[in-house]
Structure 1
Amino acid sequence: MAAKASKSGGEAPRPRRRKVDATAREVALNVLAGVDEGGAYSNLLLNRSLQQAELSPADTGLATELVYGTIARQATLDYFLDRFIKSGVKRLNPWVRALLRMSLYQIRYLDRIPPHAAVNEAVEIAKKRGHEGIASMINGVLRSILREGEALTLPQDLPTAERIALEHSHPLWLVERWIAQYGEETAEAVCAANNQPPKVSIRVNPLRVERDELLRELEAEGREARASELSPQGIVVESGGNMANDGLYRDGRYSIQDESSMLVAEALDPQPGMSVLDCCAAPGGKTAHIAEKMGDKGRIVANDLHEHKQKLIQEQTERLGLTSVESSVGDALALKDRYEPASFDRVLLDAPCSGFGVIRRKPDLRWAKTPEDAASIAKLQRQMLNAVSGLVKPGGILVYSTCTIEREENQRAVAEFLRDHAEFVDEPFEVPALENQPQVGGAGVQILPNQFGSDGFYIARLRRRG
């Protein structure tokens, strides 16, 4: 339908998006209920809800904390709530369940919010959204919890895996897998790290600024920042808000990227003038890093399965002033049919994975995945490795990376590939910060979330024999 014309003959102005009048807790509650009931992704629903609500920066921070913290601590919160709810928390209406979880999270984990204030806010929200009966029930449950005080503790005689799962709020099956792979101490350290706020890290664009110079510019803006010990192009920003709103970001002087992820391009070691294929490129952070390391000289094919994601890659390269990147849309499994064999100096397969290395950033991942999901994705990864390997020139490099810590998807996938492809050999690469960190054996390097406060990441560099 055509837009209506105004009286002056032009097009009538479109109505502005209506501001949603809601408090930080109400926004958080709506997101939590949407994730619980509808299976929505917490980060996407939260971002959309925050845009509509137009909260103050402080309230935006509170809503974000309540959403991610409540989801992260869900199992522990439910364990305590079940002591005070006869029918069990799982049988409650989703929004009531979310409100109780969110309120208990404030009481148990947020020192800056007085417990009685959290209870009073919950009761008021219940009255507004439900009725007096629900408000009374919520009031009774939360005040009973307050009376318990420090006596509300976890059992001391639980088996190790159950204790870790309950104390750090992870699925028992996942804790058991990590204990089998890494031992009890490391498994617990990983679980504890997953409940810590993610760090903000940025990657310097060396085509526009040196790292020391950017550090000085950030300091001049009043931000607290330091050089990354993990990545030579990385900076960790200790304070300063949303880095995507900074003029330095818009000017293409840096990109926002996790420190561990920055090591992928380092392992690929692309040189100016080379031909490079990034098989699963969106949203484009690693692609842009590759172009920067090549001095924007050469050819980089940024492929992704989804056409709409090419816009994300294009936005990255335009902002950073990169011209060596070309788009490609298609299934990575079919790239061997679109390009000549042995036609790329470097091939990056940043493969789809279970994502267990980024639980800190996506806390609902731990509840959404199953053992069957991990097995299914591991099968796809092996197929993709086999499919793209023939595109690497003799003497060229294939880098395989994931943002998970699952050995089935990492070391075992690469071990099987090397067993079946004698033309490739594992080639270690230097990461000085990892020299004193234990590795679990096999090809590649595994970074765990507890080691540097960065994402869990696996990177293997494989060279095709010349």
Structure 2
Amino acid sequence: MASKKKGIREIALDILQSVEKNQSYSNLLLNTTINKYKLSQADSGLLTELTYGTLQRKMTLDYFLEPFLGTGKKIEGWVTILLRLSVYQMAFLDKIPDHAILFEAVEIAKKRGHKGIAAMVNGVLRNIQRKGLPSLDEIKDDAERLAITTSHPTWLVRRWIKQFGYEKTEAMCELNLHAPVQTARVNKTILSRKELISRLEEEGFFVEPSPVIHEAVRCLKGNLAHSHAYKEGFLTIQDESSMLVAYALGAKGDDLVLDSCSAPGGKTTHIAEGLSAGKVIALDLHEHKVKLVAEQAERLQLNNIETRATDSRKAGELFEQETFDKVLVDAPCSGLGVMRRKPDLKYTKTENDITRLSSIQQTLLEASAPLLKREGILVYSTCTVDKEENDRVAEAFLSAHPDFEPDLSLANRMPQEVQPFVNQHTIQIFPQDFGSDGFYIACFRKKV
């Protein structure tokens, strides 16, 4: 159907329906939809706001809607999503007048359903307009109130409060509601950060140097993936927390590095850019994922990355023991540190996922450890904040491997601004620390 016939709100409804029904990833779906309808920058901005905003606040919106829906009739899925979408605009967007929101919602309801549905949607929204939204202060239990207010599952909020305390949990949940700033890493093998900034400014982007990472920039306006600088291999789009992994590994000179879970290649290419004569061997389970790493290496003009599609748990069958100077295990994880980028994660993860993943993480470390030379560095990293996947995996690894010790020189390799966050051989970054992703790094040294 031509985009003229579908307004931005109806397109947002399509995306939200697909996320709910098919467990589609909102970020991927949003990109393909923007390209499919060839949306302008303003329309893309509104679509992103409506989609992410409604997803981010889903539990809050359901709480607001509940008193107005009655208990009698079962409402179709798409109608509930349309009501959420409308209440999101009424509650959180001040530029759109209520009458416009109501008109649009009723038109979509007529088009997709029948007069009865349109009348119900109209009635609910007018009722909300008249009576106002129910107060969140009425929720007496602190954890439950925080869960509903910030739209995080109650089990997760209770778990975080237990692990980190109420204040830290509250700050993290609050920040998770806001979209992150796009950040990128300069390809130092080609140009300096200063040169990159001036090139991007010439292209019309608003960028500033990262106050945390020396080779990073923050983009305040525009999408760097569409820049000429990106196409020419001058930069890699990567979160600042993720950039700390290459610092932790400290690979340089002619080091031979194993990156055991390398896709999509942000960390792999960062490591490779820091080597003068060394090489990175990048493994990943799937052929199509390894292809992504190879494509990034080609775009960045790096010829010191060798990719292989293989299960890293069987890496011992490919390489001799004590082959590598440095090993990175950037393990599959629950992704609870990147919920600002992938808001749908909040509603699909379970405690069982965390337990299952922590066992996979331990197996990956187990398989990689023998491949490291004596005195070599092994880095374990995840983009989550959960202790069961982080500290407990690191502790279990050390207690099972007396030939490894905590690498207490980790802080010396970190940028100055990050050093206060280093706890001996580990770092836990929360989203509120730098406005970057939640991230964990543990560093081990193999004994002589």
Contact 1:24 1:59 in 2 (8 A): yes
1:212 maps onto 2:194 in alignment: yes
Amino acid at match of 1:146: Q
Shift of 1:407: 0.7
Matched with 2:54 is 70
Runs of 4 or more consecutive aligned structure 1 residues displaced over 6 Å after TM superposition: none
Match of 1:455 among 432, 437, 448: 437
Q: Secondary structure at the match of 2:68?
A: coil
Matched with 1:309 is 289
1:152 maps onto 2:152 in alignment: no
1:288 maps onto 2:269 in alignment: yes
**What TM-score does the superposition give when structure 2 sets the normalisation length?**
0.95
Matched with 2:231 is 250
1:127 maps onto 2:110 in alignment: yes
Shift of 1:20: 4.8
Q: Secondary structure at the match of 1:460?
A: strand
Contact 1:411 1:443 in 2 (8 A): no
Paired with 1:367 and 1:53, the residues of 2 have a C-alpha distance of 28
Matched with 1:189 is 171
Count of aligned pairs between the two proteins: 443
Matched with 1:30 is 14
Identify if the C-alpha distance between structure 1 residues 88 and 171 changes in structure 2 by more than 3 Å, giving closer, same or farther: farther
Shift of 1:229: 2.2
Contact 2:203 2:227 in 1 (8 A): no
Paired with 1:294 and 1:346, the residues of 2 have a C-alpha distance of 12
Contact 1:274 1:298 in 2 (8 A): yes
Paired with 1:266 and 1:174, the residues of 2 have a C-alpha distance of 31
Shift of 1:137: 0.5
Shift of 1:44: 2.3
Q: Secondary structure at the match of 1:177?
A: helix
Amino acid at match of 2:46: L
Shift of 1:345: 0.5
Paired with 1:279 and 1:307, the residues of 2 have a C-alpha distance of 14
**1:50-129 equivalence runs, <5 A:** 50-87=34-71, 91-129=74-112
CA deviations on 1:122-177 (whole Å, 9 max, x unpaired) are: 1111111111111110011111111123x632134521101110111100000001
Q: Secondary structure at the match of 1:82?
A: helix
Paired with 2:54 and 2:215, the residues of 1 have a C-alpha distance of 34
Amino acid at match of 2:186: V
Matched with 1:223 is 205
Shift of 1:442: 7.0
Shift of 1:212: 1.9
Paired with 2:319 and 2:332, the residues of 1 have a C-alpha distance of 21
**What TM-score does the superposition give when structure 1 sets the normalisation length?**
0.92
Match of 2:159 among 149, 155, 177: 177
Paired with 1:407 and 1:249, the residues of 2 have a C-alpha distance of 36
Shift of 1:221: 3.3
Amino acid at match of 1:104: V
Matched with 1:279 is 260
Matched with 1:45 is 29
Amino acid at match of 2:338: V
Paired with 1:57 and 1:223, the residues of 2 have a C-alpha distance of 13
Q: Secondary structure at the match of 2:145?
A: helix
Contact 1:414 1:443 in 2 (8 A): no
CA deviations on 1:271-305 (whole Å, 9 max, x unpaired) are: 1211111101111111110110113x222111100
**1:323-362 equivalence runs, <5 A:** 323-362=303-342
Paired with 1:172 and 1:88, the residues of 2 have a C-alpha distance of 26
Contact 1:304 1:330 in 2 (8 A): yes
CA deviations on 1:282-338 (whole Å, 9 max, x unpaired) are: 11111110110113x222111100001122112111111000111111111000111
Matched with 1:13 is none
Q: Secondary structure at the match of 2:291?
A: helix
Paired with 1:361 and 1:304, the residues of 2 have a C-alpha distance of 23
Amino acid at match of 1:243: L
Identity %: 47
Paired with 1:319 and 1:136, the residues of 2 have a C-alpha distance of 54
Match of 2:214 among 232, 235, 238: 232
Matched with 1:373 is 353
Shift of 1:256: 0.4
Paired with 1:289 and 1:109, the residues of 2 have a C-alpha distance of 39
Contact 2:200 2:227 in 1 (8 A): no
CA deviations on 1:35-54 (whole Å, 9 max, x unpaired) are: 11222222222222222222
Contact 1:351 1:400 in 2 (8 A): yes
Identify if the C-alpha distance between structure 1 residues 456 and 279 changes in structure 2 by more than 3 Å, giving closer, same or farther: same
Identify if the C-alpha distance between structure 1 residues 422 and 354 changes in structure 2 by more than 3 Å, giving closer, same or farther: same
Shift of 1:410: 0.6
CA deviations on 1:333-392 (whole Å, 9 max, x unpaired) are: 000111100100111100000000000000010100011111111111111111111111
Paired with 2:82 and 2:53, the residues of 1 have a C-alpha distance of 13
Match of 1:298 among 268, 278, 283: 278
Amino acid at match of 2:156: L
Shift of 1:435: 4.1
Shift of 1:443: 4.0
Paired with 2:382 and 2:153, the residues of 1 have a C-alpha distance of 21
Paired with 2:204 and 2:45, the residues of 1 have a C-alpha distance of 20
Residue segments in structure 1 that go unaligned for 5+ positions in a row = 1-17
Residue segments in structure 2 that go unaligned for 5+ positions in a row = none
Q: Secondary structure at the match of 1:61?
A: helix
Paired with 1:156 and 1:134, the residues of 2 have a C-alpha distance of 30
Shift of 1:225: 1.8
